């Protein structure tokens, strides 16, 4: 592992060259708890294309040389899927005011180096550059404490997110479907939002 890791913000069509690498990295990382995602390459390509097509989106890439070792995605909530928008609409939010940080994925060999902090900083900076947002949001999957695939040493990221200024909002809940490693078909997973209000 090199110590010369660089972080870059990318948007638009220039990202298309990285779709194969990003899709593979997402599938690899999301196999782990708590997502347990049995990934599909074609689905990932289609999902990433929505970020390329959105005028508000950003993908923050972490490079070690020419190799992508991490990525973090975000876009305006108004450009997101309906299941992400619905809790905000139900609670009176204006979608134009909300910037949504979707996912971050990082190669296991590069964790603990502060890249997660940089992913949040870069996405928040992108939102500031776009302007007009009052709230930054993300959501996480809720798994039971006694889940059979929960590692004995698993530590939730709640403390990290709280340190970054985010607050959990249980009233803002949704569900998102994917196929778990042990399943034969997609099932809905409960998701809860965390918010950070801009000053």
pLDDT score for 158:
95
Contact between 43 and 17 under an 8 Å Cβ cutoff? The reply is no
The gap from C-alpha 90 to its chain's centroid, in whole angstroms, comes to 22
pLDDT classification of 3: cutoffs 50, 70, 90: low
Instruction: For 168-197, write each residue's pLDDT tens digit.
Output: 999 999 999 999 998 999 999 999 999 999
User: Looking at residues 130-151, what average pLDDT do you find?
Assistant: 95
Q: Write down the domain spans for the chain.
A: 5-197
- Reply yes or no on domain 5-197 having CATH 3.90.550.10: no
pLDDT classification of 4: cutoffs 50, 70, 90: confident
Contact between 65 and 2 under an 8 Å Cβ cutoff? The reply is yes
pTM for the structure as a whole: 0.93
What per-residue string of b and e applies to 4-19 under the rule 16 or more CB within 10 Å gives b? ebeeeebbeeebeebb
Q: What are residue 108's phi and psi, to 5 degrees?
A: -55, -35
| pLDDT, greater one: 94 or 39 | 94
Instruction: For 31-79, write each residue's pLDDT tens digit.
Output: 999 999 998 898 898 889 988 999 999 999 999 999 999 999 999 999 9
Whole-angstrom Cα distance, residue 162 to residue 166?
Answer: 5
């Amino acid at each position: 592992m090199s110590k010369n890791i660089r972080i870059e913000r990318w948007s638009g069509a220039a990202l298309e060259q990285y779709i194969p690498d990003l899709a593979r990295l997402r599938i690899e990382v999301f196999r782990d708890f708590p997502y347990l995602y049995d990934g599909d390459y074609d689905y990932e390509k289609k999902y990433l294309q929505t970020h390329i097509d959105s005028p508000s989106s950003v993908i923050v890439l972490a490079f070690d040389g020419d190799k992508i070792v991490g990525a973090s995605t975000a876009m305006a909530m108004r450009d997101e899927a309906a299941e992400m928008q619905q809790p905000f609409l139900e609670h009176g939010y204006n979608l134009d005011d909300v910037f949504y940080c979707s996912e971050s994925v990082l190669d296991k060999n590069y964790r603990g180096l502060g890249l997660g902090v940089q992913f949040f900083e870069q996405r928040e900076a992108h939102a500031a550059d776009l302007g007009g947002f009052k709230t930054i949001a993300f959501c996480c999957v809720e798994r039971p404490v006694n889940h059979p695939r929960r590692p004995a040493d698993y530590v939730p990221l709640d403390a990290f997110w709280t340190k970054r200024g985010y607050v959990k909002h249980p009233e803002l809940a949704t569900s998102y479907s994917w196929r778990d490693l042990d399943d034969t078909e997609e099932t809905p997973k409960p998701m809860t939002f965390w918010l950070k209000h801009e000053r």
